[in-house]
Amino acid sequence: MVNDVIKELQANLDKGIEALKKDLGKVRTGRASVSVLDGIRVDYYGTPTPLHQVASLNVPDPRLITIKPWEKSLIPEIEKTIRSAQLGLNPSSDGEIVRLPMPPLTEERRKELVKMVKKMAEEAKVALRGARRDANEMLKEFQKDKDITEDEEKQGLKRVQDATDAAVVKVDDIVARKEKEILEV
């Protein structure tokens, strides 16, 4: 029973870490990355469609993203959607390809992004603590129902705390790398 609780906890902790990684991928750094465009949906025949499903996205150099739509008629819609997404990017096209130059980040903008990343990290840690609380409640419920002994409960609670601490360390490492990437000029 305790092992089942720990497995479920570990799965929830891993989900929380993956969600944080995905969210951090959308944060723009000084370098071009197609993950910045993950949330962009283009109106494709009346259906909001993810950008990567209607065009090929490439990063030919560290300061440029190119978007080559499957249909040239989508170019104006892609430009409009990117401008309205408030990513701080200004698309331009030549009729074939949409170019997204990545402007260098100002010091002030870098500090704002670091604050935003720290806020995301704190939200991830709250989610991890929620998973820990749920696991602890399950263990206490099993002990109350006499499904496990007090010793098993204590060992389980310790394993839950150890797993949570390890996940928090992972979050801190991921965030530290992202901050370094943002602050890198």
Strand order in the sheet with 98-101: 55-61, 64-69, 98-101, 92-93
The fold of the 2-26+106-183 domain, in CATH, is Topoisomerase I; Chain A, domain 4 (1.10.132)
pLDDT of 14 reads 93
Q: What is the pTM of this model?
A: 0.70
Place of tokens 């969210």: 23
pLDDT of 35 reads 80
Q: What is the DSSP letter of 41?
A: E
User: How far are the Cα atoms of 98, 148, 169 from residue 155, in angstroms, in the given order?
Assistant: 57, 11, 21
pLDDT of 185 reads 65
Query: Where, residue-wise, is CATH 3.30.1360.40 in the chain?
Result: 34-101
pLDDT of 183 reads 82
Burial 5-25 (b: 16+ CB within 10 A, else e): bbeebbebbeebbeebeebbe
Class of the CATH-defined domain 34-101: alpha beta
Q: Which of 5, 1, 17, 4 is nearest to 132 (CA)?
A: 5
Cα(110)–Cα(117) distance, rounded to whole angstroms? 10
Place of tokens 């002030």: 108
Low-confidence spans in the chain with pLDDT less than 70: 28, 30, 185
Query: Where, residue-wise, is CATH 1.10.132.20 in the chain?
Result: 2-26+106-183
Q: What is the DSSP letter of 85?
A: T
